[in-house]
Amino acid sequence: MPYPIERKLVIAVSSSALFDLSESHAVFLEKGPKVYKEFQTENLDKTLCKGVAFPFIRRFLNINTRFKNQTPVEVVLLSRNSAATGKRVLRSIANYGLDITRAAFMEGKSPYEYIPAFNASLFLSANEEDTKKAINTGYPAGTVLPSTVVDDDGEELVIAFDFDGVIADDESEAIYKT
């Protein structure tokens, strides 16, 4: 019996956070939407390179291997991209063996409005504007900053929190500063 999405810990991620779409984006900016669509169609079978959020998402999905009967976590893709890019993104997901089966491609529109429809507890995006819109609407979101992707194929998920007095008391920060 499938584990209902309402009972899962769901993370929504944008395609630009999961994969390096810088080459595609440059084509869009320099040559326009028509050439961009042609570029994606021509490169449909070319697997996209891993993006900044890829190692985190891969490790997060690995939680399900420890709970095979329940699969308590899920990742959904929420993307500003077009359906043409969506085909390439979904093929890349399959090529990397990521268990991501739900996605929304918004054809240029911000996808943050779909966060509650997918029961997402967190939205990760490389688009700061989308992240701000989500936060301003009351959804938890984070901007994934550009950096070198290091994916050592390890399985352990390590998360560090820097609360800044928002979630937890900042007494330790005050002591550290003095």
Is residue 50 within 8 A of residue 19, CB to CB? The reply is yes
Active-site option among 153, 162, 164, 169: 162
Alpha-carbon distance of 126 to 57, in angstroms, equals: 14
Pairing of the two strands 9-13 and 120-125: parallel
SS3 (DSSP) at 26: helix
HSE-CB for 71 with a 13 A CA cutoff: 11
DSSP 147: -
162 catalytic per annotation: yes
DSSP 3: P
Give the closest residue to 50 by CA, choosing from 42, 59, 62.
59
Alpha-carbon distance of 128 to 171, in angstroms, equals: 30
Alpha-carbon distance of 16 to 88, in angstroms, equals: 12
Task: Write out the catalytic residue numbers.
Answer: 162
